Structure 1
Amino acid sequence: MSARIDRLVTSGIFALDGGEWEVDNNVWIVGDDSECVVIDAPHEADAIAAAVGGRTVTAIACTHAHNDHVNAAVELAGYVGAPILLNPADKVLWDMVYPDREPDGPLSDGQKLTVAGITLEVLATPGHAPGAVCFYAPELGALFSGDTLFQGGPGATGRSYSDFPTIIDSIRDRLLSLPPATVVHTGHGDTTTIGAEAPHLQEWISRGS
């Protein structure tokens, strides 16, 4: 059976720099009826495991390590027996959530994860977080952008370990060069496309300067 994309929304708290915010997070499950990759594991390990069902999880792939993207990762890994993969540049954020537990493996720019006959290519996109990555699935015409790119603009850069010029460079150089029809599956909120967002780059730069 061909690969597909399943979406689950979980709810919880994003905490950083002494503040807390209620958030809804997208969990993206990419695969077929036999195996899948879980992209981000926020808030509700039981719900994510239920969405996976009886499939083999080949990896829990983290777009970045803000707590609202990884705070169910270790519990989920225990349920499904999958390795947690993270760009080592985000270790400083991971350690805030899991000071006594390391990720199981690294993610690096250009790395390819294979599942259900398709490829997820890792694109390093720092800015929202130092080790933020996106996953590009050309066979599905899909990008999983975490908190790097949303419908309407870049992810937030007003908190520790983030930088606005860096996220703009990441979006311009790594994402907007993808085919315009590429569907952007975001870490929060609705999907968009590369073609819908690309014309607004200069607006974002002006807004953020």
Structure 2
Amino acid sequence: MALRIDHTVTSGTFSLDGQTFDVDNNAWVVGDEHECVVIDAPHDAAAIHELVGDRRVLAVLCTHAHDDHVRTAPELADAVGAPILLHPDDRVLWDLTHPDRAPDRDLADGQIIEVGGAQLRVLHTPGHAPGAVCVHVPELGVVFTGDTLFAGGPGATGRSFSDFDVIVASIRDRLLPLPEDTEVRPGHGESTTIGAVRGQFDEWVARGY
């Protein structure tokens, strides 16, 4: 059956380094009529579960472990009977939110997750967080970038466990080589394309975005 992307926006908070902010998060579901993968589980497990419907969920895949991206991951995973997948370098952040519940499986750079006849390819893109990943779906011409890349620039790097030079390298080496018409679906806000990012990248780097 045809592969599709379902999407919802959930609202809540992001907390780190003793500060808390109100945020709206994108949550994505990729699959066909029978099975799917959830990408990020922010503030409202019920809203994501509604997108899933009665499909089999193969995984709840976390682009990184900031609390606004994983807050309802255990609740959702238990509800749909799916494993939680996270890059091990982000376990330090995961444990701040879920100290009593470990992720079920590790994500690795280059890992392929098959769903609905398509391949989701994991790209390790540290910088915003040490275990941040993006998920490239060539069949759909889409890359899900979490908080690594937005329409307005790289993800924030002013907090613990983040690094501007590292995120710049991740975007340059892992994302910019993708086809220019690849649609960028981020963890917050509107989508963009790799081609548009290429046109702005040098300016972002020069001003230390």
**TM surpasses 0.5:** yes
Match status 1:82 vs 2:93: no
Q: Secondary structure at the match of 1:89?
A: helix
Q: How does 1:1-209 map to 2 (within 5 A)?
A: 1-208=1-208
Q: Which amino acid aligns with 2:132?
A: A
Shift of 1:10: 0.5
Shift of 1:63: 0.2
Q: Output the aligned Cα RMSD.
A: 0.7
Q: Secondary structure at the match of 1:208?
A: coil
Shift of 1:152: 1.7
Shift of 1:71: 0.2
Q: Which amino acid aligns with 2:159?
A: R
Which of structure 1's runs of 4+ aligned residues deviate more than 4 A? none
Q: Secondary structure at the match of 2:207?
A: helix
Between the aligned partners of 1:152 and 1:112, the Cα distance in structure 2 is 28
Shift of 1:109: 0.3
Shift of 1:51: 1.3
Identity %: 63
Between the aligned partners of 1:51 and 1:93, the Cα distance in structure 2 is 27
Between the aligned partners of 2:32 and 2:189, the Cα distance in structure 1 is 24
TM-score, length of structure 1 as denominator length? 0.99
Between the aligned partners of 1:6 and 1:47, the Cα distance in structure 2 is 11
Q: Secondary structure at the match of 1:199?
A: helix
Q: Deviations over 1:81-138 (max 9, x none)?
A: 0000000000000000011111000000000000000000000000000000000000
Q: Which amino acid aligns with 1:169?
A: A
Between the aligned partners of 2:175 and 2:91, the Cα distance in structure 1 is 23
Between the aligned partners of 2:47 and 2:89, the Cα distance in structure 1 is 28
Between the aligned partners of 2:175 and 2:208, the Cα distance in structure 1 is 19
Gaps in structure 2 of 5+ consecutive residues: none
Between the aligned partners of 2:82 and 2:129, the Cα distance in structure 1 is 24
Aligned residues: 209
Shift of 1:64: 0.1
Q: Which amino acid aligns with 1:98?
A: H
Q: Which amino acid aligns with 2:84?
A: I
